[in-house]
Amino acid sequence: MAVAPAVDDGPPIIQSSERRIVIPTNILTGIALAAVGYWAGAQLGISFALNDAGNTEVLLGYTFASIMFLVGIGFANYPLARLFGWRVTPQPAGDDHDGPWRYLNLSLDHKVIGVQYLVAMLMAMLFGGIGAMLIRTSLLVPDPPIVAPDKYLTLVSMHSVMMIFVASAAIVGPFGNFFVPYMIGTNRMAFPRLEALSFWLVPPAIVILLAAPIFGGFQTGWTGYTPLSEQADQGFDSYIVGFTLIGLALVVSGVNMLTTIIQLRAPGMTWTRLPIFVWGVFSASILGTFAAPILAAALVMQGLDRTVNTTFFISSAGGSPYLWENLFWFFGHPEVYIFILPAFGIVLELIVHFSRKPLWGYRTAVVGLLGVTLLSWFVWQHHLFMSGIAPALRPFFMFSTEMISIPTGIVFLVAFGTMWRARISMTVPMLFSLGFLFNFLIGGLSGVFLSDVPSDTTLHGSYFSMAHFHFTIVGGEIFAIVAAIYYWFPKMTGRMLNQTWGKIHFWWMFIAFNLAFMPLFAAGLLDMPRRVSTYAVSLQTLNDWVSVWAFILFASMVLFAINIIWSWFFTFKVAPANPWQARSIEWMLPTPLGRRNFEKIPVFTGGPYDYGNPSAKPAADLGGPPDRGMGSLGAEPAPS
Amino acid sequence: MSRLDRTHALRLLVAWAVLSVVGVLIAMQVHLPPGDQSTQATDETSLLQLMLIISTPVFVGVVLFILYSVFAFRQTRGAALEDGPPSYGNFRLQVAWVAITAIIVLLLAVIGINGLTSSAAETNFASSQAALGTGGSATTSGHRLQVQVIGQQWWFTYRYPDFGGAESLHLMLPVNTNIEFHVTSTDVVHSFWAYELGVKADANPGVDNITYVSTVRTGAFTVRCAELCGIWHGHMADTNNAVVSQADFTTWIAQVQKDNSDLNLPPYSPIYFPHPPIKGD
Amino acid sequence: MSQHAPHSRGLPNLVVTAPEWAPEVDARVTRVGQWIFIGADAMFFVAFFFAFFYLKSLNNDHSWMTQWMDHPRRNGGTIIAGLLVVSAALVFLGARAVAKKPASARMFFWLALVAGVLCVGFQVNELKNLPFDITLGGGYPSVFVGLKSVLMVELVGALIWLGTHIHQASPTGDSTARPASAVAFGHFMIFLAGVSLVSYLVLYFLY
């Protein structure tokens, strides 16, 4: 192991030349430079445009704006310092700013980044949710539609893309970044700058997406199919740049998260003691890192088609819409497992702590998560069953898609084994975890219906498929996110959410969600296609029922938002350090948490799930030797 | 397995068996699409029914387990928090679960693949088939009635190459016939969905997407577009289609040919631009 | 000079904060991160190679390559690929030398920068003088322009990164203290050169 440095009072400072320039970089300079960047990019685009569709200026504008935003907020500081030899000031907690202003600026502290992500994700969910309410309002009347068809499709596209942005990062972003270092016993992530970058790519993506209606919106939904996308005006450029930024965020977050989990585990934190939540984050990060670049490439191709007049996707000029379909779904299917794997991690984690029993079948659970990760690369063509792909391919993908339900079922097996003969506490996080199990069961079973081609013939492209993915993503991932918020809020913010309102929230949300989305299976079976602004009049009662319950569901989330804001900013009672009396390491630490995670790198002496064993040691020994700036790898081995 | 384990397990199993039977009986009453207007539709309906019947005990089991657990395995109210027994797993039980789920999904995959291959096969209709109209017989074994489906923003056009390329905005098909659809598009991706016939095939520009249907019952059917194709995607629907008797079809196609006789339609090709809609269609 | 960096209050500054890391920890973390990043970048290029072979096999409308399209000259392609390989080799040699012999490392890095800039120059020239008219469409022209453009953009980014290593290869520089980061960059350049070679083969010989 490494040798302790000779100086005992502080970390080593890297020597460099003395030049010191005082130029502020913060969110305000970021926004200012972004505006300048947009103008510069647009000017460049106008002068060098090869066609008059106006896409070059918007695409270059957005790209320059995003880059200049990142420069303005401070990401260029470190590269410039290395380029010109300015002083690099090491700081353990990695912050240039102080107080609440930290949360609005570039911070290298994973706890700050976690909270930033949480707020950003909740705001994006609000925007997406408003879009959903407008969609359901329009669907109250089939003919004439309340919202004009072109605006309706823009609404659908905005809602879906915004929610995809949320679903991609809403667990790994807030909770992965905040808690994985604690759970593996390290003071910082492997690449804090990359971690911060993965967050700061998100606000530009959201703003660029929200700008789409200014340019006429886009009518392709989140799947961006060609050649329909090529009929869109500059609104579609928002999709291209926004989605690319999110893809980059996935890659950058993944590189950081994977390296951290692989290399920075404290002594005693073996792979077989890793909390199942960390396994969920780990497996999702594998998918994010290696699938998102495919999306980025495909989006670049769409961008080139719109600016340089290439014809990647135009079949009358050597291209093919199938190229987009294959590239998009090769990313798109692992993407949905990026959504759900961390959710599995959360739900299993919470069920363990609220059953006060070890995780039943830990290794099987890990095999399940990794099995899903592996198989998700081999199923993408089930989105193309009706597309006219070579018929010989369909049996293989039917088979692989059916197979992926086996590791998914393992999650239920492990959850049930844990709950068997347990001592269950029906807290709010537990309620949401059980709600997850119910909703995901329905979502998963409906996936089986979609996985066989003969049955898919009726169901593909209909509201059945819509109901399937809303049950898995909303009923699944969103319920898991809400559970995680109720569970970890005390540790992240130092305040407890009101538990009574939490229970009301659960029943309100669970009932409204199921009553709103269950009938959509019937709608699909009754010949209603997806993404339509009008439908058969006989289905109006059904759609009205769905819309009303959707409004009620939205109201439950408003209640949740009020609970969050009230508890966070208007209550002053500090939450107890371990309100759930859970065994995992983050609950062994005080509330509120210190700026430095661990004064001494912990030595893990047992798993976090050793409930019921009176002679089990606590999860970690926090009294080890001091951290000498070597991170987890520098700690002394566990005392024998 | 302790006595307590066995008690709980037995209670659960009995409840599961009873509720599953009830559930399956209810599931069997559900009227599932697409129906029986074609052999493919009948196969698809059976598969959907099978899946619903298999899903029912799974659903019942999971919900029952959750509800039972939260009542039977609860913390004692008001008392201090207790831990559950330190059980880390049971290898045999895990293997059994994985094996059972694997068998079920394998079974469904095999049935599905079987259905896939049979949907492309011709149905052998009874020998009392009459040759249909000019342009050739459509029901002699080996030759299916060719219908080209051309999607565009925002309607479908149907073309019958066997009848000199006669075009119509409504799809009429003869009963007891094997039909081969050639689905294509002239602009963006659409999807030809004939709901009651159990047929869906994407219409891709520059692509000849082939799918089959074997009609067995007369009756009307709806065609909708099932792939987002732009603003009026929701309006791309037509209820004015039907499977008719062969005599009626012969009459109808003759009329269509007459209506088309003054148009100079190009020969059949997977890429095709139809004429604008005829007034009154 | 104070051993403890003051926690900045009030006016933020361009002096950047870097979390402390001992060199051994840094080396291991950098190595793992580098391979993961290279893997992700490989997937990015895989998408373009897939596009090449897929569109070629489909040959929609017989427009993969038509008679009026001239193939890009192989000489130009050879120079571009060759320069990138040379640059990558120089970076790699420099990275290995940076810990013990910073002076030769700097020389290698400067030469690599020159080779890289020349490569970008030749590439821009090739893209401006394409033997086919991109506005007439075509599968091969699209993939050619796409693949070459993204390679060039990544190369420009890499050259900026190389710039930082040039300065950091001074005796008091970061790379001398943390040679792992220079080695990681060397691996990335080799990866980029590899992609360039594969692109060269595919684009100039396998159409």
Pick from A130, A199, A121, A134: nearest CA to A167: A121
What pLDDT, on a 0 to 100 scale, did the predictor assign at position A389? Answer: 86
What pLDDT, on a 0 to 100 scale, did the predictor assign at position A215? Answer: 94
Of A569, A585, A620, which residue sits at a domain end?
A569
* DSSP three-state, residue A111: helix
> Under a CB-based contact definition with an 8 Å cutoff, are residues B48 and A450 in contact?
no
Indicate if A117 and A59 belong to the same structural domain.
no
CA distance A416 to A396: 31
Per the model's pLDDT, the better-predicted residue between B23 and A623 turns out to be B23
Per the model's pLDDT, the better-predicted residue between C80 and C23 turns out to be C80
What pLDDT, on a 0 to 100 scale, did the predictor assign at position A88? Answer: 63
CA distance, residue A513 to nearest chain C CA (Å): 37
pLDDT at position B132 over 60? no
pLDDT at position C64 over 50? yes
pLDDT at position A3 over 90? no
CA distance A547 to A553: 10
Partner C, chain A 250-269, Cβ-Cβ below 8 Å: 251, 254-256, 258-259, 262-264
- Cβ contacts of residue C67 below 8 Å, gap of 6+? none
Least confident segment among A5-9, B154-158, B170-174, C67-71: A5-9
Confidence tier at B126 by pLDDT (50, 70, 90):
low
Contact A83 C177 (CB under 8 A): no
Indicate if A126 and A28 belong to the same structural domain.
no
Of A66, A88, A110, which residue sits at a domain end?
A88
pLDDT in tens, B187-205: 999 999 999 999 999 999 8
CA distance A518 to B228: 23
Strand bridging mode C16-18 / A88-90: parallel
In a domain, A602, yes or no: no
User: Residues of A with CB below 8 A from C146's CB?
Assistant: 300-301, 304, 310, 312
User: Residues of A with CB below 8 A from B204's CB?
Assistant: 315, 321-322, 387-388
pLDDT at position C17 over 60? no
What pLDDT, on a 0 to 100 scale, did the predictor assign at position A564? Answer: 97
What pLDDT, on a 0 to 100 scale, did the predictor assign at position C5? Answer: 36
Which CATH architecture group holds C23-58+73-205? Up-down Bundle (1.20)
Per the model's pLDDT, the better-predicted residue between B79 and C42 turns out to be C42
β partners of residue A107: A95
Indicate if A171 and A285 belong to the same structural domain.
yes
Confidence tier at C22 by pLDDT (50, 70, 90):
low
pLDDT at position A585 over 80? yes
In a domain, A11, yes or no: no
Confidence tier at B135 by pLDDT (50, 70, 90):
very low
The proportion of chain A whose per-residue pLDDT surpasses 90, expressed as a percent, equals 77
What is the tally of structural domains in chain A? 2
What pLDDT, on a 0 to 100 scale, did the predictor assign at position A340? Answer: 97
User: Residues of B with CB below 8 A from A445's CB?
Assistant: 55, 58-59
* DSSP three-state, residue B116: helix
The proportion of chain B whose per-residue pLDDT surpasses 90, expressed as a percent, equals 67
In a domain, A634, yes or no: no
Please compute the mean of the pLDDT values over residues A579-608 and round it to a whole number: 88
Partner chains of C (3+ C-beta pairs under 8 Å): A
pLDDT at position B270 over 70? no
User: Residues of B with CB below 8 A from A363's CB?
Assistant: 89
Residue B82 touches chain A, beta carbons under 8 Å? yes
Indicate if A159 and A244 belong to the same structural domain.
yes
In a domain, A257, yes or no: yes
Pick from A438, A413, A425: nearest CA to A355: A425
Per the model's pLDDT, the better-predicted residue between A220 and B271 turns out to be A220
In a domain, A578, yes or no: no
With residue A329 as reference, give the H or E element that holds it. Answer: helix A321-355
Tell me, what CATH number does A306's domain have?
1.20.210.10
pLDDT at position A91 over 60? no
pLDDT at position A630 over 70? no
Contact A304 C142 (CB under 8 A): yes
* DSSP three-state, residue A385: coil
Indicate if A66 and A112 belong to the same structural domain.
no
User: Residues of C with CB below 8 A from A296's CB?
Assistant: 44
* One-character DSSP codes across chain C: --SSPPPP-SS--SSEEE----HHHHHHHHHHHHHHHHHHHHHHHHHHHHHHHHHHHH-GGG-SS-TTPPPPPHHHHHHHHHHHHHHHHHHHHHHHHTTT-HHHHHHHHHHHHHHHHHHHHHHHHHHHT-SS-GGG--HHHHHHHHHHHHHHHHHHHHHHHHHHHHHHTSTTSHHHH-HHHHHHHHHHHHHHHHHHHHHHHHHHH--
Please compute the mean of the pLDDT values over residues A595-621 and round it to a whole number: 84
Contact A79 C164 (CB under 8 A): yes
What pLDDT, on a 0 to 100 scale, did the predictor assign at position B195? Answer: 96
Partner C, chain A 98-157, Cβ-Cβ below 8 Å: 98, 105, 108
pLDDT in tens, A470-498: 999 999 999 999 999 999 999 999 999 99
pLDDT at position C170 over 90? no
Nearest CB to B202 within list A387, A454, A534 = A387
In a domain, A164, yes or no: yes
What pLDDT, on a 0 to 100 scale, did the predictor assign at position B271? Answer: 62
> Under a CB-based contact definition with an 8 Å cutoff, are residues C120 and C152 in contact?
yes
> Under a CB-based contact definition with an 8 Å cutoff, are residues A255 and A292 in contact?
no
Residue pointed to by tokens 């096969």: B121
Count the Cβ atoms, other than its own, within 10 Å of residue A59: 24
Nearest CB to A258 within list C3, C36, C161 = C36
Q: Hey, what amino acid is at A496?
A: M
**B232: closest chain A residue by CA:** A149
In a domain, A453, yes or no: yes
What pLDDT, on a 0 to 100 scale, did the predictor assign at position C116? Answer: 97
Q: Domain containing A343: what range?
A: 100-569
Indicate if A185 and A210 belong to the same structural domain.
yes
pLDDT in tens, A233-283: 899 999 999 999 999 999 999 999 999 999 999 988 999 999 999 999 999
Strand bridging mode C16-18 / B209-215: unpaired
- Cβ contacts of residue B153 below 8 Å, gap of 6+? B187, B188, B229, B230, B232
CA atoms within a 13 Å half-sphere pointing along the CA-CB vector of A104 = 10
What dihedral angle (degrees, nearest 10) is formed by the CA atoms of B25, B31, B35, B40? -50
**A86: closest chain C residue by CA:** C15
Residue pointed to by tokens 């990275």: C95
Indicate if A308 and A456 belong to the same structural domain.
yes
ipTM tops the 0.90 cut: yes
β partners of residue B220: B242
User: Residues of A with CB below 8 A from C52's CB?
Assistant: none
- Cβ contacts of residue A63 below 8 Å, gap of 6+? A41, A241
Strand bridging mode B237-244 / B172-174: parallel
Token pair for A510: 């669970």
Indicate if A446 and A414 belong to the same structural domain.
yes
